[in-house]
Chain A
Amino acid sequence: MTRIMQSFRISLVLLGCALLSACATAPYQYPHIDIQSLSAVELSATPFHPQEEFQCGPAALATVLQVAGVSDIEPDDLTPQVYIPGREGSLQTELLAATRRAERIPFVIPRQLDALFAEVNAGYPVLVLQNLGFSRFPIWHYAVVIGVDPRQQHVILRSGTTEREVMSFAKFERSWRLGQYWGMVVPPVGQTPRTLSALDYYAAVTAVEQQGRRELAAQGYTVGIKRWPNEAIGYLGLGGLAYQQGDFADAEEHFYRVTELQPRQAAGFFNLAWAFQRQGKHQEALDAARVAAKLAPEHPRYGQAEVLIAKDQQN
């Protein structure tokens, strides 16, 4: 009996190895995690929505949105926004889009286990894409990481119909790696994710602005400036919003700040030139445009700054 069991175990291990090696890419990260520096955390107040069949996208998204303060949203509200019947599932892109529709900014975190842990430690549950099958026979699944236990090397998730799923680091990383380490966080309004670079943070904010959600974008820029006071993009964003609303004096002030922080970048001077121009400050506009053109003469847009402003003044 034990011999049969043993041979069964060995063949299972061999099978596992064969399947794993077929898709092995980057080395696992979990053996290199500094466990000493991690503290145990479990966001046990995170709501739980047991998914119905194929509905783990809406369920997982509702979970993180509720934590982000969208208290009245339910998985059923999200199904028509993200579920694709013909694919029997939901796409990552549409989870991001639906988050924006709920007036929150979604952030895709760096593809690192320690980034995931840092976000959970900061109080943000992370919506992750897992592949519970094999790379050749994928079983795509969304779950929400709500906790880390470094001593036991466990990750704790809200997953499917399991309210508190405990996975070993190894097992979790296998499934997450097969999902290309994709994870997103949705901080409450006024807060920033822990692990993103300023540039990646602002890229997510501009996505919101592109859709005309100006108030949300303005909050995003303002909070970003608090977090990265010496980074110019936040001011560029506020200036752009003011400009679009015809508040050119306000725009001028923000763009001026951009040129102070980034005196070698043409974008600030280019926009400053237009903010002057719209207020009828023609000489200042030409001066700023000249600097922009000088800083990036080859650029299809900035290089033409002086010409464009001069042309505008003739009209």
Chain B
Amino acid sequence: MKKSLFLGTTMLLSSFALTTAVVPTAQADIVSTADVVAEQQSGWNRAQLVEQLHRDEVREQLVRYGVNPDDAIARVDALTDAEVLELTAHLDELPAGAGISVSTTVILIALIIWLVFFR
């Protein structure tokens, strides 16, 4: 029940997101500073609208990687559109800084010794 409600909401939300994507870019209001900066930086105009779907996808990936679902919502909220796009495509391959645990160090030393002496 809860799940179908969630699914329904998601579909409803994403249908809104899709509609906005169809609306022509000339909006009857000021241009955001972010758009002006992005345009000056790379000629990137925001044809690539980030849709709710993209944000949902990143959130689901985070949860799949073991992040608490509530935390995942707050974490995705803290990302900019450009960051969401980056993570949608590469979350599984971007460097994840971790630090050296003892085990990796031992394995590395063992590997070097093996390469040097036993090959």
Question: Measured between C-beta atoms, what is the minimum distance from B62 to chain A in Å?
Answer: 7
**B62: chain A residues within 8 A (beta carbon):** 84
Contact A141 B37, CB 8 Å, known A80-B68, A87-B65, A311-B28: no
Question: Does A211 belong to the interface (CB within 8 Å)?
Answer: yes
Render A121-138 as a binary contact track against B, CB cut-off 8 A, 1 for contact.
Answer: 000000001111100001
Q: Which residues from chain A contact B116 at a C-beta distance below 8 Å?
A: 8, 11-12, 15
Contact A141 B31 (CB under 8 A): no
Segment 69-119 of B: residues with Cβ below 8 Å from A: 71, 74-75, 77-81, 83, 86-87, 91-92, 94-101, 104, 108, 112, 115-116
Contact of A270 among B30, B68, B94 (CB under 8 A): B30
What residue in chain B is nearest A93 (Cβ atoms)? Answer: B83
With known contacts A199-B41, A300-B45, A240–B30 Cβ distance under 8 A = yes
Task: Check A81 for interface membership: any CB of B closer than 8 A.
Answer: yes
At the interface, yes or no: A27 with Cβ under 8 Å from chain B? no
Q: A15-B115, A301-B27 are in contact. Are A55 and B99 (CB under 8 A)?
A: yes
A100 contacts the other chain (CB 8 A): yes
User: A94: CB under 8 A from chain B?
Assistant: yes
B41 touches A133 (CB 8 A): no
Q: Are B99 and A54 in contact (CB under 8 A)?
A: yes
Residues of the A chain whose Cβ atoms lie less than 8 Å from the Cβ of B74: 81, 101
Max chain A CB contacts within 10 Å: which of B30, B40, B66, B75? B30
Residues of B within 8 A of A (CB): 24-34, 36-38, 40-41, 45, 62, 64-68, 71, 74-75, 77-81, 83, 86-87, 91-92, 94-101, 104, 108, 112, 115-116
* A-B interface, 10 closest residue pairs, ranked by CB to CB distance from nearest: A89-B96, A86-B65, A85-B66, A56-B99, A89-B98, A97-B78, A206-B34, A87-B96, A142-B97, A271-B30
Binding site for B on A (CB under 8 A): 8, 11-12, 15, 51, 53-57, 60, 80-94, 96-98, 100-101, 129-133, 138-142, 160, 179, 199-200, 202-203, 206-207, 209-211, 233, 236-237, 240, 243, 251, 267, 270-271, 274-275, 300-302, 304, 308, 311-312
